[in-house]
Amino acid sequence: MNAPPSSADKAAPTCMGAEIRLEGVSVRFGESRIVSGINLHVAAGEFVCLLGPSGCGKSTLLNLVAGFLPATSGRVSAGRRPVRGPGMDRGVVFQSTEALFPWLTVQENIEYGPRMRGVPRATRAEAARHYLELVGLGHAADRLPGELSGGMRQRTQIARVLVNEPSVVLMDEPFAALDAQTREVMQVELDRIWQATRPTILFITHDIWEAILLGDRIITMTAGPDATFKTVAPVAIPHPRELTAPAAVELYRELRENIASEVRRTLQAQGMVRGAAA
């Protein structure tokens, strides 16, 4: 695992990362086996990217840790406590900005978690301001989500999660719906925010560059159904990362081949590639 670079030390960590553990986890829906035999240990404060094509069960694993979905068998724990349902110790950033409350302003969205906990008005407003500034939305506090760009909405989602000071942040393709330029900005921003707050992050993506830019480790999965882990690649490149670095390019080639072979396997199984239907 990578030691955090020294640049992270200038801001005091506000979220204490907690470890995530999945032991022998399988999920079935009726007859179909979504994932099976998953063992995963994410260390406290680590940034792990789950990389794989659509439908390989990445989101299923995230939903398990979030507590949205029970495991059919095996054990899921976060911060050494078994997961029994959703909880604010595990914040979730969703791909869709539908997850924001459109009738609340940016500030009110961010204050939602503290409000549910009964934090006094002044205290929670101050906390929200802090995270608004952290994600660079200080100027948009009083706007409604519907008035914001996609990138700004995702910043709001991130701030809304961080204000709860979760030990684990789960991100389900948070930038997949953004345009390419905004996505790049957001990736750099997330790297900075993570360095500043240091929760444990489980990040799901199908974008290889994104995984290389952000992850301490990148885990690829076999194509579903019945998906499982394929490879675990540590990323030994210092932050902030340059994607033109030879090590990054080399890793990209490896991961691309790794994932492409899974995609081919799926297509062959579906008889969609010539020579597959024998």
* Residue given tokens 């204050």 in the structure block: 111
CB of 197 to another protein, least distance (A): 14
Interface with another protein, residue 15, by CB under 8 A: no
CB closer to another protein, 159 vs 221: 159
Q: Please, what is the Cα angle at 206 between 234 and 198, to 5 degrees?
A: 50
CB closer to another protein, 160 vs 239: 160
CB of 46 to another protein, least distance (A): 20
CB closer to another protein, 90 vs 217: 90
DSSP tally for the chain: helices H, then strands E? 7, 10
Alpha helices in 49-179 (DSSP H): 58-66, 106-116, 121-134, 150-162
74-133 residues in contact with another protein (CB under 8 A) are 85-88, 90-92, 94, 96, 98-104, 112-113, 116-117, 133
CB of 250 to another protein, least distance (A): 25
Binds another protein by CB under 8 A, chosen from 60, 107, 164, 220: 164
180-219 residues in contact with another protein (CB under 8 A) are 181-182, 185, 188-189, 192
Cα separation, 144 vs 51, in Å, equals 33
CB of 236 to another protein, least distance (A): 24
Q: How many residues does the chain have?
A: 278
Q: Judge whether 18 and 79 are in contact, CB under 8 Å.
A: yes
Interface with another protein, residue 175, by CB under 8 A: no
Interface with another protein, residue 66, by CB under 8 A: yes
Q: Judge whether 26 and 36 are in contact, CB under 8 Å.
A: yes
CB of 214 to another protein, least distance (A): 15
Among candidate residues 163, 162, 156, 120, the one with its CA nearest the CA of residue 138 = 156
Region of residue 19 (phi > 0: left; psi between -120 and 50: alpha; otherwise: beta): beta
Binds another protein by CB under 8 A, chosen from 17, 45, 57, 151: 151
Long-range contacts for 179-185 (Cβ within 8 Å, ≥24 apart)? Answer: 179/150, 182/149, 182/150, 182/151, 183/207, 183/210, 185/151
CB of 183 to another protein, least distance (A): 10
Handedness of CA 258, 259, 265, 271 (dihedral sign): negative
CB of 30 to another protein, least distance (A): 19
CB closer to another protein, 138 vs 271: 138
| Interface positions with another protein (CB under 8 A) | 66-68, 85-88, 90-92, 94, 96, 98-104, 112-113, 116-117, 133, 136, 144, 146, 149-152, 160-161, 164, 179, 181-182, 185, 188-189, 192
